[in-house]
Amino acid sequence: MAKEKEEFFRADCMFLNERKLFQDYDLSIFDELKIERLNIAPDDQELLSIPRRPDYDFRYTNMIAAMGLVRSRAE
């Protein structure tokens, strides 16, 4: 997995509250398998596409709110 996609995926893992369990994921994470087994071209848009997300701080604040916690102003 490309470094940019790996970092994107790690951030998404932090914010699991944004999706429902078993909801389709909009980032291709098994690129090598798709290329080898499904004969998808390495330059296929499905493999290259990285979705847009709100910035980390906005996502973090929403996660804390979803958990019922209060975020400190010092952060």
Count other C-beta atoms under 10 Å from residue 5's C-beta: 17
- Rounded CA-CA distance 63/68 in Å is 9
Average per-residue pLDDT in the chain?
90
Helical pair 3-14 and 56-66, crossing angle rounded to 10 deg: 20
- Rounded CA-CA distance 15/33 in Å is 25
The model's pTM is 0.76
By 3-state DSSP, what share of the chain in percent is helix, strand and coil, each rounded to 5? 50, 0, 50
Output the pLDDT for position 33. 94
